[in-house]
Every structure is written in structure tokens, then in C-alpha cells.
Structure 1
Amino acid sequence: MAVRIVPAIKPGNCPGGLMRRSRGLTAALVLSLAGAGTGIGLVLMPEASAITPPVAFTADELPTWQPNGIVFAMAEANGTVFAGGTFSAVRPPDGTSGAEQEAVNFVALDAATGNPTSCKLAFTIGDGSATVRALEVSKDKKTLYAGGYFGAVNGTPVSSVAAIDIATCTPKAAFHPGFPATVRALAVTDDTVYAAGDFGTVEGQTRERFAAVDAGSGALKPFTANADEPGRAVEVTPDGKNVLLGGDFFDINGKSTHALAVVNATTGAVTKTYSNIPSNSVVKDIATDSTGFYTGNEGSGGGVFDGRIGLNLSDFSEKWRDRCLGATQAVLPYDGVLYSASHAHDCSLEGQFPDGKRNFFNAQLTNYEGAAPAPVDGFVRSPRKLGWHPTANDGIGEGIGPRTLTIAEKNDVKYLWSGGEFTAINGKPQQGLTRFASTGDVGAPTTPVASAGSVKPDEVQVRWRTSYDADDSKLTYRIYRNGSSSPIATVAAESLEWQRPQASWTDTTAKAGQSYTYRVTATDAAGNTSALSANAAVTVPSSVQSYPEQVRADGASLYWRYDDTVSPYVADSSVSGNTSGVQLNAPALRQTPGAISGASTAMGFNGTSQQVYSDHRQTVGNTFSVETWFKTNTTRGGKLIGFGNNTDRNSGSYDKQIYMTNTGRLVFGVSNGSARTITTGLFDTYNDNKWHHVVGTLGAGGMELIVDGQSKGTQSISNPVSYEGFWHVGGDNLSGWPTKPTSNFFAGQIDETAVYPKALTAAQAKKHYDLAKAPSDTVSKVSATEDTYVNQGAPSAANGASTSLAVRGTSAYQTYLRFNLPAAPAGQVLKSASLQIKTSTQANAGTTDKISVVPVTGTWSGASTTFNTKPALGATELGSFASVPDGSAIQSTPLDTAALTPVLGTAYSLALTSTGTDPLWIWSMEATAADAAPQLVLTFGPK
């Protein structure tokens, strides 16, 4: 049976619609191009003071008056923004005061406040519904030209095109060319107005879909560029010599050219034709800057082109093509960045986000920062997308979302305005109009999701999934240890909404046998800071953990251990990997016992909807290995691990996978255009609810499947299919593969998943299997079962119910802690022990004095012990804190294991004492603060 391994051509799902053209400004906003690399990764960088260059605008929406319909067209002049469309009124932003105002298909607004100005124009028609579809301002900023379908402006007769004196806000009666059908786009030079639309004549003369009239009188000009289908976009090249035409057409002046053409600005004679835009796609918008021009495209059906094209002005040749799907309505180049309005939902062909949610606003470089890459499928991919992502929705009408863009300036602030069909911006109600400024970034990044792991003494790897910020792709992360208010480290990393690689930092000051907690914040370039992540706790082992260290040493590039405590993050524990996982539909965390000995846990999957996928798009080479542990009693099969071209949706291309059949047999499959598989024997089944280890490899010698350290078969294979995709664990598509199970999803537990960029040998796989059974350290965290302190200043007071405890030598405070110590596990001994306390939030809770930990030899109780009845203490010091810094934080000190070993399995008491004058205040077991209770951390290991 054939296996789908090439991404299918997907329909655009983008309905046709009316178009609005917008033009880029040529004024320069000076921004430095920081971080010029095309990749997203961990970088070192200085902090900036604004949004991440070269993005020029925040993603924070500003209060803006809004129409009760759709905005199709926008233009700006002298700090005023003009908006036209199909609506009858405008109202204040939601949550503000003010009365609705009449606005008949047109409104003028202050660029800086978003409020209507005194300019009122009504675009009307005697029969039918009037609409404004194009707005353009003259070069001298004195005249506003409007196009659409209307018969009068403020009662002055016109015919679908009008000229407005901006100073007086009145129509120019002398300008009244006759356009008998809808005008969809305008372009203006010093003396000419070019129009595109549905018309076949102008002033009674044949002008099919494109025409030019005198900018002053409206008299028809000789320019003739007759098209067989509607015109939707028109733009004049910066030198004024040529006109760029866009639309539905297949023919201009008898010459074959589809959707795009270049013609002489005076005569309309065809200068350049195009034949590589699909027949089911059209050009909706054209805009220029000093070096290029750009098209926004829309289509429907299979093989649709919905994205953007960048072309050279020098010879009108194509320099790149963005094949994202999602009906681009407007393009706007500004200071090296192309802003676009669309509902892009699938940028797989660009090596970016897969088919999924709609992204209504995008920004990308207009040109490559270095040499352009080699073509893919005959097209040069577009330059990288940038971190600017305000959100919108489909809205009303055709459900297109945003339709138009323009930039205005007032009081030295630039504003990017958008109009369209949307009814929400950034999750808040806002219809038809919105704007973003070049200053005032107030949106904080999302809160990082952190994890911490340690596989050898004196080293902790702190990992987190990078955060997302709608207008900053470069974020600064601060790591806080044990609740300290001062960061122990600062790391910078890049991320985009759909590309959030793992970042990490290694703590080499952590001590063996001690426990630590870490929290992480993210700060954008404007100083907006996220909340602290949840605590990520870890205990540093006293000896190297043999299994994970061997996986790392063997070169795993992805290593998911499933020890994480929070959703939706699965940490990559490989040495230098950044391919973290994203949990889908809440798999069960911290399942015990895990596959390997020690404290490692597994993840549970329900077999119907749960999986973990990576959001790091990559290409897998001709040599790789996949490895995982699993335990199940399912009779419905399912995918254990595999590679596919989507993330949270079913992949259309998928292989490099291990799956289970309904009977419990294992299949390893790779495609070279057809399915190549190795399957365990008929009675070689593994759904016996025991832990099993499986490895699939591909290398120069072919494929091999290894289960529980034993080879289950090999097969030769050449030319495995290569495509960009994502790793999946617990589920993804299996359609078309041999012995396909009932379920694509696996029901059971999975642990210790790894991917390698090489073929593991059978000996290496066997070693991994054997190491999992080798004894390793186990950690017991024992919280105090009783605690109190005594106070010489109140010698008769019992403080067992207090939420805090105190230690001081002069005017003595002493603290007593009782723990129920576990016995050592069979065959193991106590290898390390430490006492963990947390300073309270009281001012000056820390101390500069030494705090000693000693055994309690007398009797005591939290309920009755006072200073007058305090117990006797042992003279031998078990451990000590040299000092404790101020600020509520966890502190830890090693304890004497030789002294604790004889009392394992008993109730044991410790005292905290001091000879100094500076008190220490810590939380008691009665406190509700996180990690408040005093704890013993005991590490047991083989003798």
C-alpha cells in the first residue's frame, strides 16, 4: 500500500473578495538590525530599550473608534487617517464613553488619538448600496482620491471616483470622470490617477478594467491596458515610468499574462508578463519601496497561491516567493520590513508554522540579509518572518479578517493602521479599525515553563520553553534559585510564536545530595517582565546516573525523560539539544515506577487523543535512531514515536516511526516512496503490561529493529524520503501503513524517549537496556512532622502552632524539628543527607551568624515545650549554615551521614542553634508558603 510522504497540496480555504491596495511610505525610521542571523536559537546579546528591530511597531492595540461594518480602504495625510468601506456609523472604543456618529462609508480619524475629526463625507448612490474600495492621497497631501461604487459625495454628483480637497473636506466638483462600475484600486502621480476595477468603459470609451485620468480635471488619458478580467491592484513604479497591474486577468492588451503585469505608464503597452501565478489565484494588492515591489495574493482550490511575492524593480524579476496559505489582502513595505494582512494558516512550504491557527498580521524582511538560499520547488523561499503578531479574527462579511494597511505619523510617533472585517483585536472587541504605535510597548512575554534536571554530581541543567512576545523575538531570561530575589544567571534567547526552542543554563555550583528549586522570568526589550515560572525542583545525585548519562554520551539530539511536573512542557535533557516537547490534551504526568531504576518517572497516554510533539521544525537525515521505553496492555495498538509534517493536527507526511499492532507486535517503518518496515515475530508481542525497550535505526547498513537488547530484523533501504517535520510521541497519523492498528494513539506509559543523528549499534542499544536495570541512587524528601521554637524573652510560651521559627544566641531562640526517617532501601546505604529550610518574608529574616545543626537528646513536643522546659542537645555538630542571606529563599546544608545512618527508620529530632546576636527567621511546617516546611533530603544508593 502506498504511503503518503510528500506534503499534500492543501486548498487555501480562502474565499475570493474585494481588494484594497496600500502603499509603503518612503520615509526612513532608523532602526538597527540586531541579530542578523536567519535562525532562531540561543544567543548572547545586550538588552535593548524598544521593540526588537527591525520591527517598527508594537503589537499593542490602541483605542480606536470603530465602524459598524467593513473597512476596505485607507490612506493618510498630515496626521489624519481616512477609512472607507461599507458602513453607516462609527462608535467609540469598547469600554469608553461617547455617542455613535453617522459615517456613511467614510470616516476621517486623528492618527494619534483614534478619534473622528471634523471632516465628514457621505458616499451614497441612488440605487443599490454604495461602498468605498480605494483611497489614495496626492503627493502634495492636498487631495484625497476615492474609488468604489457610489454616485455622490455629500450630494455632489460623481461616478465611482471622486477627488476631495483635504483642507476643506469638500469634493472637487470639477473632477468627475465617468466610471460606470466598481473601482477597486487607485494610484496617483503628480498629474495622473490610475484606476483598476470592474469597468469596461470610462467616459464612454473602451477602457477594460484599467484606466488613467488627469489628476486635476479627470479627463481620460490615452493610457490603455485592457484586461479580460477584473483589476484589483495598481501601483506606479518609483521612477514613474511603469505601472504595476494586479487582478484576476489572463490577458492584457492581447498578451497572455495572469494576475500580474507591468505596463508603460504613458501608453499602457505591456512591458513584462507573468505566467507562474496559478490560474486559481489572483493579485489583491501591490506595493513598492525603493528597490522592489510586492504582491499580496489570494486563491481557492488545490494548488492555490495565497502568499506574497517580492520582485526587483530593476528588471521586474521575482526575487522570492512566500507560499504561505491564507489569502493575503494587503502588503506594506516599511523600512526593510514587509507587513502583511492575511489569515495565514499554513506556512509549511516556507519551513515555518504548519497548518493550524490563523495568523492575521505578519512581518518579514523585504530582502535577505545575506545570499538568498537555493530554490525549493523552483521558488526562492521568502526571507525570515519577524516577531510581530497582533491577533485578530475572521470577523464579518467574507470572514477575511484584516484587509488594508497604512502608516501615519503625528507628533514624531508612527502609527500602523489596519482596517477590515475583524471584530476583535488581541482578544478584545474591536471592529473594522485598529492601530499600533512605534512606541509604548506594554505587553509582557508569556510566563516561561521551566524544568530542572541533574544526572551527575555538582551540575543542574535548568531548561525552559522560550516564551512568546507579540512584538519582541529577542527576550532576556533571568533564573532565580531557591526563591532568591536576585537572579543567579541571565540568558538571552530568540523565539517566535510558532518556533519556541528550549533554552537552558547549567548550574555548576549546585552540590551533590542537595535539593534546589529554580524559577525563570522573561523580559522583553522594553523592560516588560513576565510572571515567575512555577518552581522547578531537583535533587543533585551523589553519583553519576548511568542510564541518562550514557544516552547523552551516545549523542542523543533529543532526550525526553518525562520527569516534568507542569504542563504543557517536556524538557529536552540532551547535552546541547533544544527540541523540547509540547503536551497535547494533558497526558498523565509523573507516572511511577518509571522504566529505569531510581526516581525517574514516566508519562501516561490515554490512547485516544494524547501525545507529545516537538515544535522544532527539522529535517531528518539518512542516518538516525529512535529509542523509547513503553509499558501497555492495549489491544488497539498505536504510535509510540514517529516523525510527521504537522504538530497538533494529523500529519499528511509521516514515517521514521515505531508503532504497535493490535496484537502487541512492534513495527519500525521508514519510507523511500513506499513503506519499508520491520515487524517483530507473530508471537513476539509486547502488550504484557511490562516495561520494554525499543530502538529503530537507519544507517548505511539499512534499517534495524532492536527490542529489549535483541535484534528483531534488518532490511536494506536506499533514498529515504526527506521532508521537514516534527517528532511525535504517543500518536499521529498511521493511515496507509502495513498492519495499521485500530488506534493511531498509544494507550499506556512511555519513558526515556531519545532521537539520535546516527545509527546506534546493537551493542549500544543492548547497553542501554542493561543499564536501565542497574542500581542507582534514590532520593527521599522527608518533611518535618513536628516543629517549634523557644524564646528566652517569653520563657513560658509554647510556639508549636507558629508559622515561623527563630534562632539566635543572645536572648536565646532555639528551633526544634522532628522527622520520621525512612529505613534504607534493601541493598542501599545513605550516601548523602541535607537539611532544607526557607527563610520567611519578614524583614532581615537572614542572619550573618553561623547556625549550627545538632541532635536533640532530650524530649520535647510542639504543643508544650517552652524555654523553661527546653530539651537537652547533643554536642556533636551535624552540619551548619555559615550565614543565611536576607530575602525569602530556600537554604540547604549537608548533614553528617555517619551520624544519621544509625537512626534511620526512627523518629529523629534536630535543633538549630546559634551563639550570635543576629536572629534567623524561617518558615515552619504550619506555614502555607510554597516549599515552606523544613525538609531532610536523603539520597540512598548501592553499597
Structure 2
Amino acid sequence: MRRSRGLTAALVLSLAGAGTGIGLVLMPEASAITAPVAFTADELPTWQTNGVVWAMAQANGTVFAGGTFSAVRPPEGVAGAEQNAVNFVALDAATGNPTSCKLAFTIGEGTATVRTLVVSKDKKTLYAGGSFGAVNGTPVSSLAAIDIASCTPKASFHPSFPATVRALAVTDDTLYAGGDFAAVEGQTRERFAAVDASSGALKPFVANVDEPGRAVEVTPDGKNVLLGGDFFTVNGSNSHALAVVNATTGAVTKTYNNIPSNSVVKDISTDDTGFYTGHEGSGGGVFDGRIGLRLSDFTEKWRDRCLGATQFVLPYEGVLYSSSHGHDCSTELEFPDGKRNFLLAQPTNHEGAAPAPVDGFVRGPGKLGWHPTANDGMDGTEGIGPRVMAVAEKNDVKYMWVGGEFTLINGKPQWGLTRFASTGDVGAPTTPVASASSVKPGEVQVRWRTSYDADDSKLTYRIYRNGSATPAATVTASSLEWERPQASWNDTTVKAGQSYTYRVTATDAAGNTSALSAVASVTVPTSVQSYPNQVRTDGAELYWRYDDAVSPYVADSSVSGNRSGVQLNTPALKQSPGAVPGSTAMGFNGTSQQVYSDRRQTVGNAFTIETWFKTNTTRGGKLIGFGNNTARSSGSYDRQLYMTNTGRLVFGVYNGSTRTVSTGLFETYNDNQWHHVVGTQGPGGITLYVDGQNKGSLNATSNATYAGYWHVGGDNLANWPTRPTSNFFAGQLDETAVYPSALTQAQVKSHFDLAKAPTDTVSAVKTTEDTYINQGAPSTAYGTSTSLAVRGSGSLYETYMRFNLPAAPAGQVLKSASLQIKTSTQANSGTTDTVKVLPVTGNWTGAGTTFNTKPTLGTTPLGTIAGVAEGSAVHNVELDTAAVSAALGTSYGLGLTSTGTDPLWIWSSEATAAEGTPQLVLTFGAK
């Protein structure tokens, strides 16, 4: 058996190509489905049932499914007629189609059902248990043996089980059963029994329990039997839900009394080193997850306390696959209460040393990147979803089969049965959501929310700059469906004053690649932007500037925190003006909108939270705080700044009671002006600062210990002092930051003062008109052409562009100017020649300019570009700042010429190509 690897959701990055990575750990490229997962998450066409599948087994490339149903039908959209299938169907593992084996499990009164299936070690006999009185008319009593080769019931095998059989396990000579019965063959056998595997004769094994048996498994050495169910005693010994007994006599070997009384064992499975239990329960303090135990001494090695009614556990090649409707894995530091996750996978063992116990239990190994989706199921059923799993192999391909009461798999109609293969991954990752920012010359930070792929947790990202077909960098990062942290890369080859565009793709291990992200544009400043640079320098590990242009991603601009945010209920983007020049804000409606961080974390007793806000609300609301849920209201929440109805500000933590500091009775801040608020905690306690001023401190040096998420704009405020009417804030927020230490008063004051410092502003001015002339067609005008051309000889091409230049903002001057163009997609659009940018001194129009009427060009170049590479990409040409500055506030013409014979082809303003329109990028700054 392959040794399992304990993959975690921690972000793992690798880098190749231009620039320098941020917090990157080198590691090899991903290969086939991310190990140790063995199956894709892509559902295969499979015949469906019209009822619940309770049981599965497999032999020789055939999968047997039993349950409560009457027919099977072809997959959605596949031709074929429905077939009778009375509580049983045999299917080809490789095609998903029914085989010729037909069995009908019936009963005289009531509803027949098959609840458990198991195949003999020699793969010749299929045993079925449930509630039925006949198989194909042959009388039986809730337990039957089927000859697999002939698909006929063995008439000589008919032990009498007077009540439902729910679980079976088989050795070479013994068949163990668990269920609801109190006697077998007229002899007392309470809920567990053993019969001869050939004859059905009752064996002396006695393991009487007081409540139903639901699971039975034999240890690999054959010496012990593992029992699971609802019971509280075994042979008179106290043992709830789980016990180990001698395989021959049923004498108790091991009891368990640490499973909550309101939880039961639904399934038990084994591998070479351990056994695993799946649990279901109801009520407070319930245990709904999985336990991993040692075979050596039957002691517990880990306990996964996710909530969600685990129905089945299947260890395979070092991975424990499980079916449930897991909805809350907070105790495992994974997804909070919310969306149901029906199919999960995790290593059978921790990699390396196990984590320290929490609440007396070692957490389970972290979930792996295998995440097919399902649903609760059919009307009138228990709403569980998947119930049973089996791995079958045929033609060297392995298949994970799943049965239950679901009606959807991966969002597509599929009832009762589905399957996944070990090969053939065809699902591409989701498209990354990218952004880019620059706060100082020579550096651009490209950020993106990691993508999601249902069977690959480790994805390869390629970053393309300026439309190039060759990636500027390659980064590998890990993500799961419920944890998609930001990944980032620093481009350190950029030039001040120039504009750059970036797009990102995600590729899985099988080579499936997402679409390109939307274009992320940025202009590199000519001087350091004081405020954001200081926030980063002071160690912010989360920094949301709210310059995002699309939902639902909020980029983290910290140096290496990569703690991005997720917008909930679409807050208003790019609200201007923001609190800091050059930045925009985010608007919140005060009823439902917020942003929460995309990565679960713990926060120590030293931290700082900081944000800017602007509001006139009289209903108060949370500005920023920490809570243990994401989209749902948190049950644990503190470390928060909030506003009262009157506009006062409160900062507080919880350490057994709420400990808060607030502004004075008449110090209110709902005046529709921008204000800066900071809350710190450290060895000196908690302190509240507003607009750079200390508003009070309190000797509170600890806070509540739990894992959670940062929330901005809303979350629970119940039971906090002077609680406002609304948990949600109505107004604008900007420049939110979190630090892992307490900022000093000097640092806080510095941030407040720096927000007033002047910063560069950038104007991107697109052409109002453009055309080119062609010596080979001297009378033709090209004013409506989607392409523009430049060539010096052979047949002269010259391009002309017109821009309406803005005046410099008050108190600022032009600091840099560049022309941005994009080569077209036609072959050989680049050039080996040097292209000059010259001022146009003569008059011209797009409609009237031909070679015969071409305007006059100046003689002194404004800028040059020495060759343009082949392939469609964006290029920048630095221009003479003084010359462009002199033309500010006017209509300005530029001409492109060359002296060589190799033409350059670029997009015009009439083109629809992304990033294609020629533009001037003008950077203005303080005099």
C-alpha cells in the first residue's frame, strides 16, 4: 500500500521566469491527479436507479448495487429503455451499463430492501443482507448467498434471520452479520451473529448488544471482529457504538466509551495498519465524523470531528474516502458551517508527527483535493446524499463507484449511482481572478485568487505580461474548494511611468487549462507612494486597498500575507474619492454586504486592525472584526471595531467577558468625512486611536482563542456594549490593514499624516482618431482600418494618431509619458527595425489622409523602440516628457515611422482586441 501524504491547504508556490517571487517555496511541477488522490472528480455516464442505493460490492469488473428501488434507466441524455431492477442491479464497472445478471429481492408484506452486500474472498459468492423473503422466488430470510458465475441464489444457504440484516463481513469460512435481529435459527443472537460461509449453519460466536448493529468488519489477521452500531453494551460490558470482540467466541476484546451517546457508528473499514469508523448523530455535542484507529492495540490515532452524518468510509492507497453531507469542519480548521460537502478524501495517517490533541482529540489529517459534488437526494428519503462506495477495476482502469439517494452529481442529473475513473481528467480549473498594483518604482505585484479544480489541489499558474504568448513567470500554488488563498508574483523588471497589463491562467496536472483571466492593468509610479508603502513596511499581513474592479475578489496588497478577501452580496466597487489619493474605496449598504478573508487563521494576543471609513449612518455597524464563520453570522467574534447608532467608535476583545474602549459621548464620527481608526492589543492592553489620536486604553492583554476569518463591513455584534441597530455598516471603507503586532502611537500618527501626502496620478488617454498611409495605394484612406502599419521602404507605411491631452492637475506636473501600442495577431506583425515616434506638425484627418495628402512630421523623435518581437503583445515607448508637457491641454498628433523594410502591424482604435487601442499613459506628480 502506498504511503499516504498529509497534504494541507497551506499555500505552496514555485517560481520560474522573470522577476522575483514573494514568499515562494520551490517544489516540482504537478503531475497526474494531485497525489495521493487516485480518482478524477469527473462523473462518468452511469445507469441510474429510481430509489435509494444502500449497498455495494464488486468482483471481477462487475459492481453490485442493492437498495430500495424497482428500476434502472440510462444516464441523462443517453438512448435506451428503463429496465426492471427489483432492489438489485449488476453493472459493468467500465461502462456503467447493466449486465445480464438479474436478481429480484422481494418480500410478502411490506417493502423489501437490500442493505448490505459483500463478496467472498475467492470472488465466487455474493452475500446480500437486508429485509426480504425471496431472491428470484427462492425462499430466504433476510440473508442470501448468490453464485456470481451463474447469477443464481444458492438454495442450500438459507439461515433464518427474522429481522433486517444491515451489515456483513466475510472470511474464508465465516460470514458475520449485524442488524436488528434478536435471534438466528431460533437461538439468541442479539444484533450480531456468525454463520458458516458455505452452509449458513449458525456458529457459536456470541456478541450480544442492546441496540441495532450497523457495521461489522474483520481485522486483517482474522483474529478479531469490529462491531459498530447504536448499542451501549456488548455481552454485558459497557461499550457505546463501537467494540472489538474475538472472532471465534465473540468475547469482548476492547470497549469504547468516548463516543457521544447521541452518535452511532454507520460504517467500519480496514486497511493494513488501521481501521476507520464513520459516525452519525443528532442533537448538541454530536459526533458526525470519522475516527482512525490502530490495529495493533485498537486505540484511537485521530478523530475528524466534521459535522455531517458520515455514512461510509473507504481506505484506498493511503487515502480515506468518505460519503457524508459534511457541512461544518471548523474543529478541523477547515470549512465553517454552511455548504454541504458530500464526498471527501483525506490521508489515512498524518504525515510526520501528529498534531497536539485539542479538547482531548488529535485532529484528522487535512482534506485532499477531491471534491465531486452531490445533493441531499430524493423526496421522501432521509436527505443524506451519498451512502456507500466501492472501488472496482477493469481493463487496467480503476473506478470509484458511489451509491445513495442523490439526484445530482456535479450539478448534473444523476440518480442513485455514479462513478469516477483513475484516468481521463477533463475538467479545467476555474479562471483566476487577477489584479496588479505598484506602490514604488521598479516593482509590480501581480495577485490572483487561486483557482479551484475538483481533483487537483496543486495547480500551475502562468502569468502573461503585455499580451505576450510567452509567460513572464510560472507559479505553483495549492487550493481547495473551501480555501482559495491569494497567490502572487513580483515583477521587478518594470520601468517607472510605464503601463503594464497582466493575465493569468491555471493548469491542472493533466494539462487542462483555464481561460485567461481578465486583463489587470497597472502603471508603475515614478516615486514611492508614501501611505501604502509605509503600511507594507510596518508589517501588514493583510492589506485591502479596495481598488478591485470585479467581484467577488478583494486583493491583498501586503508584502507576503496573501490574505485576500471575498465580497458578499456585491458591495459597490471603486468608490471615489478614496481616503488616500490615488486609491478608491468600497461601499457597503448596511444590511447584508461585507468582505471576509479567504483563509482561516488564528490571531494571538498582539495585533492591530486599521481602516478608514466615511459615513452618515445612524444605525451603526461593524467596521472590521474577527469571527469563526464566513458567509454566515459568526458564533464566536471579537477583536473588532464598530460604530454605535450615534456615531461613537468602540474597539474591543473578548477574554471571558467583553473588554472595550470607546470614544467619548460627544466624539462622534458619522459626519460623512473620511476618518482613520486603529485598534491595537499587546502587552500593554488594548488601545483605540482615531485620526492619529489616542482615545483610550484598557489593561486587557488576552482574547478568545479560536480559528476564524477577518470581516469588514459586517458580522455578529450580539451582546456587545452599546450594540448598534445594525450588525452591518452603511458607508465607505478604505485601506483596511491587519498587523501581527501592536503598532505604536507614532506609527499610527504617521499613517494618518501620510494619507494626506501627495501622490502620483495617472491618466490613460486613448486615441480619438488614427490612420496610416500606404505608398503602394497612394490615393487610399485607411481611417476605418482595424490595423495600423509602419515601414520605411519597399512601400512606405506611416501611422498617425491624435490624442486630446488633459491639462495637468492643480499643483502637479507631468513626470512621465509613454505611448502604449499592441501588435496585431497577424503573422509577422513584429519588426526588426527601429520605430520612431515624431510629432505631427501638419493637418490631417482619418477620412482624408492618404499617401498623396500625408501630413508633415517633426524631425526630433519623441521616443523610439528598437525592434518589436513577433506575436501579439503590448509595448510601451517612453516619450520625451518636456515635449509632451508643452502640449498638455491641446489636441496632439503623433506619427510612427521607420527606415527599414520589415513592417510593424498594430491594432487601431477601431479594433476590438483586448488592450488593443493605442493610448498615452501620462503620470502627474507634485512639482
Q: TM-score, normalised by structure 2?
A: 0.98
- Rate the CA distance shift 1:41–1:732 in 2: closer, same or farther, 3 A: farther
Matched with 1:614 is 597
| Secondary structure of the corresponding residue to residue 867 of structure 2 | coil
Distance in structure 1 (CA, Å) of the matches to 2:692 and 2:533: 18
Q: Give runs of aligned pairs for residues 204-603 of structure 1, distance below 5 A.
A: 204-396=186-378, 397-597=381-581, 599-603=582-586
**Pairing partner for 2:883 from 885, 899, 903:** 899
**Pairing partner for 1:662 from 626, 645, 648:** 645
**Pairing partner for 2:761 from 753, 773, 778:** 778
| Secondary structure of the corresponding residue to residue 765 of structure 1 | helix
Task: Give identity over the alignment, percent.
Answer: 80
Distance in structure 2 (CA, Å) of the matches to 1:382 and 1:896: 63
Matched with 2:10 is 39
**Pairing partner for 1:631 from 597, 603, 614:** 614
| 1:720 positional shift | 1.7
Matched with 2:842 is 858
Matched with 1:105 is 87
Q: For residue 279 of structure 2, what is the amino acid of its counterpart? A: N
| 1:501 positional shift | 1.2
For structure 2, list consecutive stretches of 5 or more residues without a partner in the other structure.
14-24
Q: For residue 284 of structure 2, what is the amino acid of its counterpart? A: G
| 1:898 positional shift | 1.2
| Secondary structure of the corresponding residue to residue 928 of structure 1 | coil
Cα shift readout 1:159-196 (whole Å, capped 9, x = no counterpart): 00000000110000000000000000000011111000
Distance in structure 2 (CA, Å) of the matches to 1:929 and 1:902: 32
Does the 8 Å contact 2:4/2:317 carry over to 1?
A: no
Does the 8 Å contact 1:44/1:491 carry over to 2?
A: no
Distance in structure 2 (CA, Å) of the matches to 1:33 and 1:343: 24
Does the 8 Å contact 1:852/1:877 carry over to 2?
A: yes
Matched with 2:60 is 78
Matched with 1:15 is none
Matched with 1:763 is 746
Distance in structure 2 (CA, Å) of the matches to 1:540 and 1:744: 39
Matched with 1:5 is none
Q: For residue 799 of structure 2, what is the amino acid of its counterpart? A: T
Matched with 2:853 is 869
Distance in structure 2 (CA, Å) of the matches to 1:809 and 1:615: 54
Does the 8 Å contact 1:660/1:667 carry over to 2?
A: yes
Matched with 2:76 is 94
| 1:33 positional shift | 6.3
Distance in structure 1 (CA, Å) of the matches to 2:586 and 2:5: 40
Matched with 2:791 is 808
Matched with 2:20 is none
Does the 8 Å contact 1:787/1:924 carry over to 2?
A: yes
- Rate the CA distance shift 1:643–1:48 in 2: closer, same or farther, 3 A: closer
| 1:39 positional shift | 3.5
| 1:48 positional shift | 3.7
Q: For residue 519 of structure 1, what is the amino acid of its counterpart? A: R
Q: For residue 251 of structure 2, what is the amino acid of its counterpart? A: A
Distance in structure 2 (CA, Å) of the matches to 1:44 and 1:297: 39
| 1:293 positional shift | 0.3
**Pairing partner for 1:691 from 639, 661, 674:** 674
Cα shift readout 1:62-112 (whole Å, capped 9, x = no counterpart): 111111111000000011000000011110111111111111000000111
| 1:803 positional shift | 1.5
Does the 8 Å contact 2:9/2:483 carry over to 1?
A: no
| 1:35 positional shift | 8.3
Distance in structure 1 (CA, Å) of the matches to 2:861 and 2:725: 64
Matched with 2:18 is none
Using the TM superposition, name which of 802-811 and 277-286 deviates more: 802-811
Q: For residue 491 of structure 2, what is the amino acid of its counterpart? A: D
**Pairing partner for 2:173 from 181, 191, 195:** 191
Does the 8 Å contact 1:628/1:695 carry over to 2?
A: yes
| 1:47 positional shift | 2.5
**Pairing partner for 2:779 from 796, 810, 834:** 796
Q: For residue 931 of structure 1, what is the amino acid of its counterpart? A: E
Q: For residue 94 of structure 2, what is the amino acid of its counterpart? A: A
Distance in structure 1 (CA, Å) of the matches to 2:441 and 2:725: 45
1:734 and 2:717 are equivalent in the alignment = yes
Does the 8 Å contact 2:577/2:584 carry over to 1?
A: yes
| Secondary structure of the corresponding residue to residue 549 of structure 1 | helix
Does the 8 Å contact 2:6/2:366 carry over to 1?
A: no
| 1:408 positional shift | 0.5
Using the TM superposition, name which of 581-590 and 44-53 deviates more: 44-53
Distance in structure 2 (CA, Å) of the matches to 1:449 and 1:566: 8
| 1:435 positional shift | 0.6
Distance in structure 2 (CA, Å) of the matches to 1:623 and 1:644: 17
Q: TM-score, normalised by structure 1?
A: 0.96
Cα shift readout 1:862-887 (whole Å, capped 9, x = no counterpart): 12111111111100110111111222
Does the 8 Å contact 1:49/1:527 carry over to 2?
A: no
- Rate the CA distance shift 1:34–1:143 in 2: closer, same or farther, 3 A: closer
Q: For residue 790 of structure 2, what is the amino acid of its counterpart? A: V
| Secondary structure of the corresponding residue to residue 833 of structure 2 | coil
Matched with 2:587 is 604
Does the 8 Å contact 2:121/2:172 carry over to 1?
A: yes
Does the 8 Å contact 2:7/2:366 carry over to 1?
A: no
Aligned pairs, number: 913
Does the 8 Å contact 2:6/2:347 carry over to 1?
A: no
- Rate the CA distance shift 1:929–1:448 in 2: closer, same or farther, 3 A: same
Does the 8 Å contact 1:503/1:578 carry over to 2?
A: yes
| Secondary structure of the corresponding residue to residue 331 of structure 2 | helix
Cα shift readout 1:814-837 (whole Å, capped 9, x = no counterpart): 111111111111211111100001
| 1:152 positional shift | 0.4
Matched with 1:919 is 903
1:702 and 2:685 are equivalent in the alignment = yes
| 1:931 positional shift | 2.0
Distance in structure 2 (CA, Å) of the matches to 1:848 and 1:570: 41
